[in-house]
Amino acid sequence: MTTASNYIYVYAGAEKSGIYPLSPGANQWEELTNGLPADPLVAGIVIHPNDPEVIYTGTQDGPYRSANRGNSWERLDYPKTGAPP
């Protein structure tokens, strides 16, 4: 959950279908998938503490970052085979 300009945004990760925000004044959740892998397994969501526009998530394909509240995502440089030993 973040606050910006007196608005509260809530983000939820669904186990096999993506990330869903509930925007200020909205009555339903929307799905954010632009740039995420197909049927993303969302392991966690972290909002940058100083910039609520920046969101990080972990998926089965590695970590992703959004710089625009989840409207689009980019995969971060991380080995596809997992972390090095």
Global pTM? 0.78
- Measure CA 51 to chain center: 14
DSSP string of 19-71?
EEEE-TT-SS---B-TTSPSS----EEEE-SS-TT-EEEEETTEEEEESSTTS
Dihedral sign (CA 48, 51, 52, 56): negative
Q: Per the domain annotation, does 81 fall within a domain? A: no
Q: Per the domain annotation, does 80 fall within a domain? A: no
Q: Per the domain annotation, does 26 fall within a domain? A: yes
**For the segment 2-52, what is each residue's pLDDT rounded down to a tens digit?**
444 556 778 888 767 788 888 788 888 888 889 998 888 888 899 999 998
Q: Give the Å distances, CA to CA, from 2 to 45, 49, 56, 69, 85.
A: 12, 9, 13, 10, 35
Number of domains in the chain: 1
Q: Per the domain annotation, does 84 fall within a domain? A: no
Structural domain for 56, as ranges: 2-75
Q: Per the domain annotation, does 85 fall within a domain? A: no
